[in-house]
Amino acid sequence: MSTTRFNAVEKASNRKAVEAVTPDRKVSDYYGENVFNRKAMKKYLSKETYKALTHSIDNGTSIDREIANHVAAGMRMWALEKGVTHYTHWFQPLTDGTAEKHDAFVEHDGNGGMIEEFSGKLLVQQEPDASSFPNGGLRNTFEARGYSAWDPSSPAFIVDDTLCIPTVFIAYTGEALDYKTPLIRSVEALSKAAKEVCNYFDEDVNKITCFLGWEQEYFLVDEDLYSARPDLSLTERTLLGHESAKNQQLDDHYFGSIPSRVQEFMKDLEIECYKLGIPVKTRHNEVAPNQFELAPIYEECNLANDHNQLLMSVMKRVSRKHNFRVLLHEKPFMGVNGSGKHCNWSMGTDTGKNLFSPGQNREDNLRFITFVVNTLMAVYKYNALLKGSIASAGNAYRLGANEAPPAIISSFLGTQISEILDKFENSAIEDAIEVDDKKRLSLGFGQIPELLLDNTDRNRTSPFAFTGNRFEFRAPGSSCNCGSAMLALNSAVAYQLMQFKEEVDNLCQSGKSKETAIFEVLKAYIKESKPIRFDGNGYSDEWKEEAAKRGLDCESSIPLQYDAYLKPEVIEMFAATHVLSEKELEARNEVKWEIYIKKVQIEARVLGDLSLNHIIPVVIRYQSLLLDNITKLKATFNEEDYLEISAEQQRLIRKIAGHINAVTKMVDEMIEARKRANRITDLRSKAIAYHDEVAPYLDTIREHIDDLELMVDNQMWPLPKYRELLFIR
């Protein structure tokens, strides 16, 4: 075994569980202690300031500078008492990560000394460099100015010695350069459109809240093994490696007993999350070895997205204390399940109703059907956009396999809801509207209690499934910013609700009753949106053929999937909801194509380096040992015995030589393909060239190297193998 690999495996094998430091307090005692939440606001702000700030948060109104000064003073006092020395505007550029620039709480006091200072101006805005972040051409290098602006609806929090203030990030010319800005716009558009439709059924509804509950899947790997794999260190996935004889085929890891080292990591992670006000609730082993999941209680969409972005940062920090590395790549290991980030999406009223829950009377059930059907219409009309919103170089490896939804957007409703819509389509206005919320199931034996069944089963092959009182968007990848998918979904549904209201109002103006108008429009929508409904096996080849016949988007090329953002109907939808302008959409596509190019480019460079500088030299050395052995055999035995004894070694040497030649040749070809692609100036065309001409080499080169891994002496192989990476010791 190579020295590097030996040391890494030895250290990983000797790992002991790191004891979690659990506070001698209940979670409720320290939950949110590092958050400037309403409890802290009450303590550190005057009654007038507290009232103005909470009114802004609850109603989306702006805060004047005088109130901002008072908030900043209270926030500074709270932070200083907790040992904070710096503050930062925490924002979400178009990198799928977060960004921050730290400034100290100090200013000159005018007498040669320093004082701790933090004004409303510093709270409200900061000026990061807008040209160095992905911007799709909105900012030139000589046009560097951009602004981060405080989002009061997402509370400030403390990490280490720094006060982090959630903010939006915009260009000097006003365009959004982040995910938060359009996400907030989409939430407002959805709330307004949903409220107007909801008022058909309940005039007391004044506000609609969009909720998000994400489920974060991830892998853990020993830090020493991670460091011994340049592909993991540089790309977050293994670009080569033969699958282990045992991986997930026994289904023994899923929901199994959590390994002790992982349990200690999870305990520390949860403590840090609770301090930061992240309401994590569920933890368990996922399907693949070393794969796990964490999920929170649902929150308002914008806040939930902030918490997910913060969580990914906290996970990486806490994991290193336990000698782990967190892998958030969608497909870090070939041959086992990849990781997604399921987004559970719903809407609720300020009167306490879930718009996706059936009610106890005709009006509530009609409202339920209205919002389900309009959501289906939005998903049907903009299925290509929703797919483009979750498309990435990493997610392409996960989607479509028997582990994740197919790369075709469809919606599962379940037998009961499907039957209700079909019945509604053919019903008369005087017919009853009945929706059963729960069914009962008696197992009929012993002490086992009666079960309450949801009104749908679950279909894990569906990208967009109705799961009882919400829709679950299962297609987003584990490393993505949820905001990309959520702003597309929110905007599409908002626009659809706007169109629904317009059609209903027009029918009412022509003399039809409100209920008759709603019935007629919904019936037409149910019929029109039928192609998006699919309750069967999304993994099957038959579904791919059927989806194409139904007119659903079946594009498999990631660069081409981004074209959905620039379709005329999508540009019109985003403009009508005031979420993204055409200029902003064009810029975001430029960013998406550029990121795709760079990710494939980095992987190609890393694989080329691993192939020629790590693998091939070791393989040649092993081949030389075989040749030396053959020479010695020839000197020892007569010709007849020699030919018989050495036949297998000679065959192995030929196979090794064939793989060496193939890898060397293909690495050279991949480099040339990269050079040709790099000469293309148009980003879309360049991304297509990387997808069509460069990316295929990643798999073909890997196949040869993975075969060599099974041939070369295990002691000589330079990189930790899957059997070492995938089972925490």
- Sequence-distant (6+) residues with CB within 8 A of 531 are 380, 550, 551, 552
Strands 102-104 and 162-171: unpaired
What amino acid is encoded at 246 in this protein?
K
DSSP secondary structure letters along 182-247: HHHHHHHHHHHHHHHHHTTT-TT---EEEEEEEEEEEEEEEHHHHHT-HHHHHHSS-SS-PPPSSS
| Residue 381, SS3 per DSSP | helix
Contact assessment for residue 304 and residue 212, using Cβ atoms and an 8 Å cutoff: yes
Residue 612 exposed, middle or buried by CB count within 10 Å (0-12, 13-18, 19+): middle
Angle at CA 288, nearest 5°, toward 282 and 290? 75
Helix (H) or strand (E) run with residue 726 in it = none
The radius of gyration computed from the CA coordinates of the chain, to the nearest angstrom, equals 29
pLDDT along the chain (729 residues), means of 10: 72 68 80 97 96 92 91 95 96 93 85 80 87 86 85 97 96 94 98 98 96 97 96 97 92 89 96 97 94 97 98 97 97 95 97 90 89 98 98 92 83 90 84 62 51 62 91 96 98 98 97 94 96 91 93 96 98 98 97 98 98 97 94 89 87 96 98 98 98 98 98 96 92
CB atoms near residue 728 (< 10 Å): 18
What amino acid is encoded at 500 in this protein?
F
Phi then psi dihedrals of residue 414, to 5 deg: 90, 160
Strands 125-126 and 471-473: unpaired
pLDDT at 702: 98
Q: How far apart are CA 55 and CA 67, in angstroms?
A: 12
What amino acid is encoded at 428 in this protein?
A
Number of alpha carbons in the 13 Å side-chain half-sphere of residue 570: 24
Six token digits for residue 532: 């998006």
| Residue 128, SS3 per DSSP | coil
What amino acid is encoded at 64 in this protein?
D
Six token digits for residue 189: 């558009």
Q: How far apart are CA 52 and CA 30, in angstroms?
A: 26
Angle at CA 530, nearest 5°, toward 529 and 536? 130
Q: How far apart are CA 328 and CA 341, in angstroms?
A: 10
Q: How far apart are CA 617 and CA 675, in angstroms?
A: 25
Number of alpha carbons in the 13 Å side-chain half-sphere of residue 12: 26
CB atoms near residue 243 (< 10 Å): 15
Tell me the C-alpha to C-alpha distance, in Å, between residue 304 and each of 180, 183, 252, 345, 700. 11, 11, 32, 11, 40
Provide the whole-model pTM. 0.94
State CA 531 to chain mean position distance: 27
Angle at CA 706, nearest 5°, toward 604 and 724? 100
Residue of 729, 726, 728 lying closest to 247 (CA atoms): 726
Q: How far apart are CA 708 and CA 619, in angstroms?
A: 8
Which pairs with CB-CB distance under 8 Å and at least 24 residues apart come from 678-685?
A: 683/590, 683/593, 683/594, 683/597, 684/559, 684/562, 684/563, 684/589, 684/593
Q: Please give the DSSP secondary-structure letter assigned to residue 554.
A: -
Residue of 237, 100, 93 lying closest to 157 (CA atoms): 100
State CA 446 to chain mean position distance: 43
pLDDT at 471: 96
- Enumerate the β-bridge partners of residue 93: 178
